[in-house]
Amino acid sequence: MRFLWRAALAAALLCTAAAPRGAQAQIDYRNLDDDRPTHVEDAYSLERYAFELITPYRAVRGRAGQTLHAFIPEIEYGVLRNAQIGVKLPVAGLDEGGATTWGLSGARLFALYNLNTESRILPALSVRSDLVLPVGSHGGDATRGSVKVLATRSFGRSRLHLNAEYGFGDGETALVEGTDRWWYGAAVDRTMFRRSTLVVAEVYALREADGTPVEVNASVGLRYQWTPTVVLDFGVARGLRRDLGPDFEFTFGLSRAFALPWLMPRGRRAAEPLGGSDAQRH
C-alpha cells in the first residue's frame, strides 16, 4: 500500500508540473479517452509527437457488497499523423469484507487510427485494437484481444459518440481493464463555461463472456481544463438492470499533455507548439 501511494503521488506531481514554454495552446478537455470519465471515447487520435500521461483512480461497489479499487496509470503517444499507441498498467485492490488483496491487473497495449475527420456527410471514424496480457495476480490466465469501431459527430457545442467493440479469446480475463466478449455504447457531450468544461452522459451494454447476462449501465461525468496542459476528470456510474453492473462507481483522474523535443522534427520544435493541431480533434 505504501508503494501504491508513493506511485500515485509521483504521477500526480508529474501531471501538475509546470507546463513547458510553447504549450499554452493546448486545449485537452474535449478529448474523450476511454474511461476518462466514461467508457465511450471520441474518434480522434492524439496529436502527432504528443504524449499524454493519465493517472486515474476508480472505486466500484458491487451488488454483492464487495469493493474494487483501481489505480490505472496510462501513457499515450501520437506516433503518426492520426494514429496513437499506448499502454495501461492497472493495479487493483479487491475488498470482499476482509483484507484488501492488491495486485497488478494485467497489461493492456493498444493502438488507434483515425480514418477520417468529420465531413458534411460522414462522421469522424476510427479503429482501435487492444491486447491484454495476463500479468500479475489479478491479470487473469489468458491473453485476450479486441477490436473497436468509433464514430464522432458534432452539433455545434455538442457531440454524439458511438462505440462498438468485440473481444477475442477465452479464459479468465483481468479483474480491471479486462476484455468483454462485446460491448457497445453511445455518449453525448457538451462544452460549458467558456470552453473549459465538458459534460458527458452515456449508456452502454456489455456481455462479459458467452452465455453471461447482458449488463446495461449509465454514466455521467465532466472534464475540466485546470491548466493549459492538465485536465481533471470526474465520473459516476450505476447499473440499470437489477443485480447486474455496479451498484455505484466513482472515478477521478488527472491527465497531462507534453512533448519531448528530441522526438520532434527540428523545424516543428520552434514552429508549432504542443496542441497546434488540436482543432482537428475539437
CATH number, domain at 93? 2.40.160.40
Residue 160 domain-assigned? yes
Least confident of 8-22, 95-109, 140-154, 261-275: 8-22
Query: Which pLDDT belongs to residue 102?
Result: 93
Position 15 scores a pLDDT of 46
pLDDT tier at 159, thresholds 50, 70, 90: very high
Confidence of residue 196 (pLDDT cuts 50, 70, 90): confident
In a domain, 226, yes or no: yes
Q: Is the pLDDT of residue 7 over 80?
A: no
Task: Look at residue 246 and tell me if it is in a domain.
Answer: yes
**pLDDT of 91 above 70:** yes
Which of the four pLDDT bands, split at 50, 70 and 90, describes residue 70? very high
**pLDDT of 238 higher than 90:** yes
157 has a pLDDT exceeding 50: yes
53, 74, 113, 118, 259 from 81: Cα distances, Å: 19, 20, 9, 16, 15
pLDDT band at 5 (very low <50, low <70, confident <90, very high): very low
Mean pLDDT of the chain: 86
CA–CA separation, 277 vs 274, rounded Å? 8
**Could you tell me if residue 23 is inside a domain?**
yes
What's the pLDDT at 281? 53
Q: Is 281 contained in some domain?
A: no
Q: What is the pTM of this model?
A: 0.85
What's the pLDDT band for 131 if we cut at 50, 70, 90?
very high
Least confident of 62-66, 127-131, 141-145, 207-211: 62-66
Domain count, the chain: 1
Q: Which long-range contacts link 64-67 to residues 24+ away (Cβ below 8 Å)?
A: 65/96, 65/97, 66/94, 66/95, 66/96, 66/97, 67/94, 67/95
- Domain contains 208: yes
Domain that holds residue 51: 2-276
Residue 114 belongs to some domain of the structure: yes
Q: For residue 33, what is the DSSP state?
A: B
